[in-house]
Amino acid sequence: MTPFADAHPADLTISEARAALRAGALTAVDLLEALLRRIEQRNGGDPSFDGAPDAVNAWARLYPERAFESAQAADKRIAEGDWAPLLGIPLAVKDIIGVAGLPLTASSRQLEGSLADSSSAAWTALERAGAVLVGHTHTHEFAAGGTTDQVGNPWNTAHSAGGSSGGSGAAVAAGMVPGALGTDTAGSVRVPASLSGVSAFKGSYGRVSLDGVIPLAATLDHVGPIARTIADCAVMFGALTNARGATDPWGISTPRDMDEPDAVPARLDGITIAVTDRTDSVDVDADVRQGLARATDALHSLGARILTLPAPYELDHSHYDTVLIAEARAYHTRFATTPERYRDSTRHFIAPGSTPLSADAYIAAQSARIHATELWSAWFREHNVSAVLEPTTAAPAPLRGTGYDVTEKIGGDDPLTCFTALWNFVGFPAAALPSGLSQAGLPTSVSLIGPPQADASVLSIAAALQTVLKPLVLDRPA
């Protein structure tokens, strides 16, 4: 009996669905039909711009006709013996990632009616790997916030699904798709994964092309996968790093290609994991601390060596904010005459005409990034650390509708980004995975962060950890 024989098709992971498709136990059309029924059952109605208090509303738009055409083509390719890594797998894409000829609105009225002229390098890579596009998911407007207030958390729709890739995280958590594409500027794939109880990966800066992605802050932005498991994130990330013809100036000079990940290691003997004092300066929820302790114990049980070390550098929030706001406002000058078309939660944050930033401040902030990157890189080498373990967010999902507070520093005491933003600032790879449930029944999460370009190693360690800290499953009717 195959391990997927008794599972509902919509509950299969990417790896399980691939096995079922290759074994002939399931067709791509059957899988898509099951997921579209799941969307009808769990989204809370048709896609809505503003959402509703009792709705998940993960989707900005759905493309069922296109998806069925792709699924039918995938079934034909499978019958001919084609085993492309994502062939026939339905996926979602965040609404700032372009797909040629389809709407691209950043969940904003500023871009209402806009169509993408060409496909992003990221989607092109996934499509080349055989993925089936189900739809675009909601983002916090222009990815400029961490709450995506029009989206409800599938575990409790009164709570936030996180952001800015909140729709992607919610769609995966609710079992509407097995994987989704998001972007991450201060934690925007890892925060939704944390709050919605799924997995995510932000690779080294430049690993995945930003071509065809609406920017928030181009030198902080990363494209990355959200999925039910780290192993599934690795499959998606392997496809993403094979983007061809990318022209963005931020790509790393080392080869992007990353082979499909090897089997998850059974042991972590010889691996050193560091726990730093970064949790000492933040008010970390007790349930989150318990999740961190479970992860520490799990890594130790797998044979890893656990070290407690002081962090060599903590994020200077003024430098991070200077880079973020300067780059965001540079893009948004094109909307200077229509500020009323922004959502309230983003208008004052990125609208042109706000307090200007000096060139000197921006240059100083970028110099600080170089210094921070050098300090952390040397620290990893000096202590022979393979990965840092820390909470993903300092608390479970907050109540929905609070929006982005422009007076709140990114990182700092913000419970959503206090741990994540640093790793965008220095561009290191980071994986997020569930660590349990809070007493209120909301997910908690931990992250593993590695030195620059150690993407495969971080994914491998995180996948091993997830063999002990099992993925969460939302217990709802099929």
Domains belonging to the chain, first-starting first, are: 9-466 (3.90.1300.10)
pLDDT at 351: 63
Is pLDDT at 5 greater than 90 in this prediction?
no
Is pLDDT at 101 greater than 90 in this prediction?
yes
Contact predicate 186/325, CB 8 Å: no
From 94, 108, 209, 445, the catalytic residue: 94
From 119, 160, 168, 188, the catalytic residue: 188
Contacts of 249 (CB under 8 A, 6+ apart): none
* pLDDT-derived band at 260, boundaries 50, 70, 90: low
Contacts of 365 (CB under 8 A, 6+ apart): 318, 319, 320, 322, 323, 326
Least confident of 103-112, 113-122, 395-404, 456-465: 395-404
pLDDT at 264: 81
What is the maximum alpha-carbon separation in the chain?
65
Q: From CA 314, how far away is CA 321, in angstroms rounded? A: 14
Q: Which helix (H) or strand (E) holds 306?
A: strand 305-309
Please give the model's pTM, rounded to 2 decimal places: 0.95
Least confident of 117-131, 249-263, 318-332, 348-362: 249-263
Contact predicate 419/392, CB 8 Å: yes
pLDDT at 409: 54
Is residue 202 among the annotated active site residues? no
Distance set, CA 178 to CA 58, 168, 372 (Å): 14, 10, 36
Is pLDDT at 440 greater than 90 in this prediction?
yes
Is residue 164 among the annotated active site residues? yes
pLDDT at 349: 78
Is pLDDT at 303 greater than 80 in this prediction?
yes
pLDDT at 253: 47
**Choice between 279 and 346, residue whose per-residue pLDDT is larger:** 279
* Mean pLDDT across 159-164: 97
Beta-strand pair 222-227/179-184: antiparallel
Q: From CA 313, how far away is CA 319, in angstroms rounded? A: 13
Q: From CA 35, how far away is CA 10, in angstroms rounded? A: 5
From 70, 119, 160, 164, the catalytic residue: 164
% the chain with pLDDT above 70? 90
* pLDDT-derived band at 137, boundaries 50, 70, 90: very high
Average pLDDT, the chain: 93
Is pLDDT at 56 greater than 60 in this prediction?
yes
Going by C-alpha positions, the residue among 212, 219, 217, 225 that lies closest to residue 250 is 219
* pLDDT-derived band at 267, boundaries 50, 70, 90: very high
Q: From CA 216, how far away is CA 165, in angstroms rounded? A: 12
Q: From CA 376, how far away is CA 428, in angstroms rounded? A: 9
Contact predicate 167/137, CB 8 Å: yes
Is residue 470 among the annotated active site residues? no
